[in-house]
Chains A and B, each alone.
Chain A
């Protein structure tokens, strides 16, 4: 009886170990020859990651000391580099270059926080780690907008909305707003074209809902649509947010995804930490 119990126990433990091992196998670094990208990264000893800072997923550290970035994308990128046993090297990019850089081979992965859009899915694959939606802010004393009640009300020919070129609102906004005037501006390094609003060259601008509380805290005199706290529940252009990788190497992409699946609690905790820190 004891022997049969022992055998059953060992068999169960063996099975559990096998299941655990197969689950772990997905995040094991693929063997040489399986992924050209991983082979190249290991050969050079450096993981090239394209990056542009964006709160709360990849805020840039401008104090001059410590890590260059923080946030969930940074945690994940470091996890990838550590598991590959290589150094992480940041390739600075702009909003216009954060996706196309993957095609040039200059970066192995783009850790710039990217909304997952159909157009982008045509050219890159994503490792999704967060989600976002849009709110629209403007000056509270702007007579054109301060009497309006909803996002729908913004769709008027006398209202101008500024957005950063190369960001998802560029393709989404014309489908959402038919009458509103659209104005593309070059990315300034901020989460939203705040300077366009402050200088009154535009009436409203889109901003990620999670970034709005921080903006409202730093720049007084702004209002947001959906009004007040409803911004945080906005469903406007609700998208997933992730990092992008070239479509060619599916083994590399699958490995990145498997690593994320394994450490996603840590990644989510970092996002919450940044959001709480403001």
Chain B
């Protein structure tokens, strides 16, 4: 017997708008998280000891705090400290980006420092500036080495967007909970939810993996 999908079909517009919110906050938190991470990772790798210590504190702090705590703090405590309020979506994006940025930073730093020092020295000996050496020699190799880890972080970011339901961001999990609250069809709606998250994350994971396989040889030295 076919299961009754009417609780979902009747509310498809409601759930579709929730899916867009999930995609929206995932994309923005990935974009901002990567910007933060690349800047922090590069500065930690090449910015000197003081910069490394200061930014290391940010990275360690974020890695020591649960994502949920960061989000709740961003939504409730941060507006009281800085004196202006923000919507739950904005708070969600800030909290998710700040948390993701720390992990991206460590991946970037690891990628940059994985390229042997001799290559930098050789580039400098050939008359390249430090920036030029990073841009033309170090980064192309490091980026490829970072790719699998950064791909995993992208899928984590999409999945972690569900945590934002706690601060009432109207994303997929929260809106699905509202639908279950009205229909009591837990098995149907939460199973569908799992499938939708899988359909969002699986292509990202496989796509990056496939891309990496194509270009992996360029990252070896």
Give A contacts to B, CB under 8 Å.
52-53, 55, 59-60, 62-65, 91-94, 96-97, 100, 103-106, 186, 188-191, 194-195, 198, 215, 218-219
User: Which residues of A lie under 8 Å from residue B67 when comparing CB positions?
Assistant: none
With contacts A64-B12, A188-B180, A188-B181 taken as known, whether A97 is within 8 angstroms of B167 at the C-beta atoms is yes
CB-based contact A62/B85 at 8 Å: no
Q: Looking at the complex, which one of B79, B80, B181 makes contact with A191 (CB distance below 8 Å)?
A: B181
Residues of chain A contacted by B184 (CB below 8 angstroms): 190, 194, 198, 215, 218-219
Given the known inter-chain contacts A97-B167, A189-B174, A189-B180, please indicate yes or no for A104 contacting B186, CB distance below 8 A.
Answer: no
Q: Which B residues from 76 to 111 make CB contacts under 8 A with A?
A: 76, 79-80, 85-88
In this complex, how many residues of chain B approach chain A with their Cβ under 8 Å: the count is 32
Name the prevailing secondary structure of the B interface residues: helix
Residues of B within 8 A of A62 (CB): 10-11, 14, 175, 178-179, 182
Contact status A106-B87, CB under 8 Å: yes
Chain A's closest residue to B89 (CB) is A92
Inter-subunit contact A189/B79 (CB<8 Å): no
15 contacts between A and B (CB under 8 A): A62-B10, A64-B17, A91-B88, A92-B169, A92-B170, A94-B174, A106-B85, A186-B166, A188-B180, A189-B178, A189-B182, A190-B184, A195-B186, A218-B183, A218-B184
A63 and B79 form a contact (CB under 8 A): no
Q: A63-B13, A92-B168, A92-B169 are in contact. Are A104 and B180 (CB under 8 A)?
A: no
User: Which A residue's beta carbon lies closest to that of B84?
Assistant: A105
- Indicate if the CB atoms of A189 and B177 lie closer than 8 Å: yes
Q: Which 7 A-B pairs have the closest CB atoms?
A: A64-B13, A190-B181, A189-B181, A189-B177, A189-B178, A106-B85, A92-B168
| CB of B128 within 8 Å of the partner chain | no
B16 within 8 A of A: yes
Docked CA distance A95–B169 (Å): 13
Task: Tell me, in angstroms, the Cα distance from A100 to B178 when the chains sit together.
Answer: 21
Given A97-B167, A189-B177, does the pair A64, B85 have CB atoms closer than 8 Å?
A: no
Complex interface: chain B residues within 8 A of A92 (CB): 88, 168-170, 174
Taking A93-B168, A198-B186 as contacts, is the C-beta distance between A53 and B181 under 8 angstroms?
A: yes
* List of B residues within 8 angstroms of A186 by Cβ: 166
Contact B168 A97 (CB under 8 A): yes
Q: Give CA–CA (A52, B166) in the complex, Å.
A: 12
The CA-CA distance from A69 to B59 in the complex, in Å, is: 42
Inter-chain contact A63/B76, CB cutoff 8 Å: no
| A218 surroundings in chain B (CB, below 8 A) | 183-184
